[in-house]
Chain A
């Protein structure tokens, strides 16, 4: 397997706050990896750097064989990177269907009936079909999170970045979410998932990366990582879900 995404020596800071500290890792084509770390560790910032919403102070990002460090965000999406936002950013005045249609049309480059059919499939898979005509601005937080994922999926990404989408779900909903993500993964999409709900994460990912103060402090098989005393120490008392 070759690397779809490779991040090398990526650094970013805001004044004294270091959100990425010479971070390096690779994500193989077709992999599913999870990212753990306490609040404020720099997980969302890492997504911002990968998607181009933030520019690094140093380091390099390559995707699908191309150096994308200087490529603008919009182009990166067209190349195949799509993300969900931790704090949902719906197109509030547009319906759920239209939100996802933006992903299908602009991100995936589909048009006409083909785009519409793809969006309907995505809404079906994410459980939003019965809300298709609802204005996104009037959705509940949970549905906004579903919409985040639907919109990203509609862009047909090669690399899907999910940022804390399992929080607040009931057990049944969480099982359904895991099922959805597994299906996406099985269809060949590479996934990086930031999640505090560790049991959901462990049901999907085959590798974990742990970040603290912007620094990658551990990387490896989920079991090894979860048993590591260092990781336990960082998580002790930090997160009750674990």
Chain B
């Protein structure tokens, strides 16, 4: 007789949820307690958090190790400029529309690059991003190679005062991070999330158990690309200026993001969060040292990859067997005695 039952929440996850809600309330009130520079920094942190969470879903779970997601960051940024300047859309609407367009554009790209395996896939995605950069540099109405600034009337349409605009940009960044983490978490809890997690661990076993690998990967690629474009739009809404080199920077939008995910713990939901905090802690303490800062980042990445291949969160999880997002199923027996 089976007296066992299955549950998903744990004490750690319930506590984490309460802390997260409290933190969210405090963060949402930041425009009243934080200075301008801090507000800007926190906005940037949230947007990196969202990018890392998305790249982790794509690379850490679906095994799509792309080094070309800057294609969608830049695409989203340029859509913000194009759709507000020539389409007359409100900036927020333009950013969302950019996400939809990115989803559409990502389908033929996926069909192309999914033919490639491993390193060739990575190179293929990078080439696609370069094609994006060169193409947008040709569009003279968007400033060609030197880029353009968001027109004053578009900026004004956000809010009348400068502090109002800065608060709005901050809330949008915070909201985007919450939505991205929430969507990824909710997805991973569904049966398709279970399938994706299986793909993460063994594609051959996953397909043998009835999982359509190609379709699952396509879905993940399209959804992450759409959200990445939305984040790109928000990034350039903060910057108010765009150029092909900034928009399609492999350093800013992919290398740093990969660093975050790898040191935090790839293939886990918690990893990108911890990685983002570590990355910004390093950046803010070492930024004054110029090149030494990049060398330090590289050294940290190498040490983590050698000593803790599952990242900082992997270390914590293996040691304490906890998870902050209740994704696991736990089998429990009513009378603590497990026999069979």
Contacts and interface: CB of A to CB of B under 8 A. Distances in A.
Interface of A: 51, 53, 72-75, 77-78, 82-83, 85, 89-95, 97-98, 101-103, 105-107, 111, 116-117, 120-121, 123-124, 127, 129-130, 132-133, 136, 151, 155
A105 B191 contact: yes
Nearest to B3: A120
Contacts of B208: 51, 53, 73-74, 77, 82-83, 85
Nearest to B333: A129
Contact of A77 (B210, B213, B267): B210
A120 B195 contact: no
Given A129-B338, A155-B209, A93 B201 contact: yes
B210 A155 contact: yes
A53 to B, nearest CB: 7
B338 A101 contact: no
Contacts of B213: 74
B330 interface: yes
Contacts of B206: 91, 102, 106
* Those 3 A-B pairs whose CB atoms lie nearest each other, nearest first: A91-B201, A77-B210, A132-B331
Interface of B: 2, 4, 6, 191, 194-195, 197-198, 200-202, 204-213, 267, 328-331, 338-340
B328 A95 contact: yes
Contacts of B267: 93
Nearest to B195: A106
Contact of A133 (B198, B207, B209, B330): B330
Contacts of A101: 194, 329
Contacts, number: 113
Q: Which of A78, A95, A102, A133 has the most CB of B within 10 A?
A: A102
A136 B202 CA distance: 12
Given A94-B198, A97-B6, A106-B210, A120 B205 contact: no
Contact of B4 (A73, A89, A120, A136): A120
Given A120-B2, A120-B4, A90 B201 contact: yes
A89 B197 CA distance: 14
Nearest to B4: A120
Contacts of A51: 208
9 contacts: A73-B207, A85-B204, A98-B194, A98-B197, A102-B194, A106-B210, A120-B2, A129-B331, A155-B209
Given A94-B197, A102-B195, A129-B338, A77 B4 contact: no
